[in-house]
A and B are shown apart, each in its own frame.
Chain A
Amino acid sequence: GQQLNQSPQSMFIQEGEDVSMNCTSSSIFNTWLWYKQDPGEGPVLLIALYKAGELTSNGRLTAQFGITRKDSFLNISASIPSDVGIYFCAGPAPGSQGNLIFGKGTKLSVKP
């Protein structure tokens, strides 16, 4: 079935560093969503992208909808300890009646 490939699977960085992660698909997506999940909690929506080439920011987070519509990128600038968590990309799978499929996540750990 349709899959979203997220990379990297995990990152271990120093506080203050910038972070980049991406998500790719074999199919064209019309929407890309980025979620963050803290330990013991449900995923929380960070950014939603609706148009190819769109660049959207939410504080220190910036996400881009790839021009091919088959990928998306999430950047975090000047990371802080509370950025720790798992970041998921998601989008409505083609022919899915609007149901989302999720990448397997990028686990971010930050050294203080």
Chain B
Amino acid sequence: IAGITQAPTSQILAAGRRMTLRCTQDMRHNAMYWYRQDLGLGLRLIHYSNTAGTTGKGEVPDGYSVSRANTDDFPLTLASAVPSQTSVYFCASSPGPYQPQHFGDGTRLSIL
């Protein structure tokens, strides 16, 4: 079934460790996005990429980095995890900017 695959589904991580969340889509969408979802704060955009080879900062980019080497993959890296990065992380994609986004099932990350 076409869609977005996120890995891992959940992870417990010690503070200070480096972590990469993986996201792969098979819909050949040009645009991809990373959000974090926290209780009471809704979905907030971390980083985005409108096309392979380009990335941009969203609302809450600090402490995170992304790369977009090809159309299908959009990994999110926490260089040195901190407890405030405990959250549920969603990857999404859309055919292009301004178009409805399709979401993965999320990665639940706990930083201790």
A and B assemble together: yes
| A residues apposed to B, CB below 8 Å | 1, 30-31, 33, 35, 40-45, 48, 88, 92, 97-105
B97 touches A99 (CB 8 A): yes
Chain A positions within 8 Å of B43 at CB level: 43, 88, 102
B105 touches A97 (CB 8 A): no
**CB-based nearest A residue for B31:** A98
A48-B100, A98-B98 known; A103+B106 contact, CB < 8 A: no
A98 touches B50 (CB 8 A): yes
Chain B positions within 8 Å of A92 at CB level: 97-98
Task: Beyond the given A43-B103, A100-B33, please list 5 additional residue pairs across the A-B interface where CB-CB is below 8 A.
Answer: A31-B98, A44-B103, A45-B100, A99-B33, A104-B41
Q: How far is the CA of A103 from the CA of B99 in the complex (A)?
A: 17
When the two chains form the complex, which single residue of A30, A99, A103 contacts B45, counting CB atoms closer than 8 Å?
A99
Any chain A CB within 8 A of the CB of B16?
no
Q: How far is the CA of A33 from the CA of B43 in the complex (A)?
A: 14
Any chain A CB within 8 A of the CB of B29?
no
Tell which of A88, A92, A97 has the most Cβ of chain B within 10 Å: A97
